[in-house]
Chain A
Amino acid sequence: MAWLNTTDLAKNAPAGERIAVAGSVLDGDSKPIPDALLEVWQANAYGKYAHPEDTQDTQIDPGFNGFGRIPTDRDGHFRFVTIKPGATPGPGNTLQAPHIVVAVFMRGMLKHLYTRIYFSDEAANATDPILGRIEEPARRNTLIATRTTGAPEYRWDIIMQGENETVFFDC
């Protein structure tokens, strides 16, 4: 199964700002989860998905597929490198702020969970139609990766259960 593991989505030097996202996956007792697997999917820097359903009149970037599969290490930690996605169309003529969709797999989960990563330095988050569906600001913040000042490094943790639980989607 490791043949699809890609922790560097930007390895073919695609267009866009090269960034890293890192964090931990924790359970309901705040213990690290060493057997989690994250699958990520995103648009390229122009906001275009490498898939025929995306009929936007913007460019595909041949150096960018948009998929990554990242296991956590024995400390429950993950890190992947990619390029910052562009904004993509949302429901009803809205525009979605730059984001990465994530599927989370692990022992103990009979089916995977979906979540998203947004970026703290994007003003567009304020008008994102999906973030707007989350009523409590504290819950909304669980989807926003925080940028380390200066460096293109973002921190985002997945808390499976409890008070600071990450938002997961019914889709």
Chain B
Amino acid sequence: MADPAGYRRAKPGTQPNYLHPPYQSSIKRAPSKPLIFLPHTLSEITGPIYGHDNVGPTDSDLTKQHAGEPIGERIIVSGHVLDESGRPVPRTLVEIWQANSTGRYRHDVDQHDAPLDPNFTGAGRTITDDEGRYRFVTIKPGAYPWRNHYNAWRARHIHFSLFGPSFLTRLVTQMYFEGDPLLPLDPIFSSVADTAARDRMISSFDLERTIPEFALGYHFDIVLRGRNATPMGS
């Protein structure tokens, strides 16, 4: 077989560093030795493939997964998944997870003193269509406190996890909301030095995607690998 073409490497500053001291948990977990350069082989340019069989009808609508509707501001989040050349990535798995409207996650580790919503779990998944488009209906997550530093609050965000065509296109990131006053105070958001790259993690309010009397629309495109790649963020 001919050698695979491989992917372009990230431009400096467009991805967070492993060691980011303002983010306390990174201090003992970041590698201290230099990473070893790995040419892209068949092992890296292949990866697990998921399809429409893996998603059910309510998986992309986080407001319809329980008996009642969750409390909170209903929103539609949609956009394209693109590859490093700007081409749409069709039929790829997109997973999201988030806190509820009070800023509380539904898992044991989160003991923040804010109410759980019995009608909200906060996890969704979908497969992009043939044009690389995805769409979720959910409620806007609340900000929540964390113990990284005194009076620390995470900006409102939704976690996104994508596979893309191969193991190396794997992306886990966080989507933020434009105009959130917590953004400049959030060390996870600011872990990406390059401001253009950082801005790619912020969704924009979009009246065209807003459905009258139903839900506000937010637009968020995700780029896997390459010059305009969406930065990662746990």
Contact = CB atoms under 8 A, between A and B. Distances in A.
Interface of A: 1, 3, 27-29, 31, 33, 35, 39, 41-43, 49-51, 53-56, 65-67, 88-92, 96, 99, 101, 103, 105-114, 116, 130, 133-134, 139, 160-162, 165, 167-171
B44 interface: yes
A48 B93 CA distance: 23
12 contacts: A27-B29, A31-B28, A65-B48, A67-B47, A89-B41, A101-B43, A108-B25, A108-B27, A108-B29, A110-B191, A133-B36, A170-B36
B72 interface: no
B15 A165 contact: no
Interface string B168-196: 10101000000000000000100100000
Given A51-B46, A133-B36, A90 B41 contact: yes
Contacts of B165: 53
Q: Which 5 A-B pairs have the closest CB atoms?
A: A108-B25, A51-B46, A67-B48, A111-B232, A170-B35
Given A51-B46, A90-B42, A133-B38, 6 more contacts: A33-B29, A41-B48, A105-B172, A108-B24, A108-B25, A169-B37
Main secondary structure of the interface of B (DSSP, over half): loop
Interface residues of B, number: 53
B46 A111 contact: no
Main secondary structure of the interface of A (DSSP, over half): loop
Contact of B41 (A88, A110, A167): A88
A110 B234 contact: yes
A167 B26 CA distance: 18
B204 interface: no
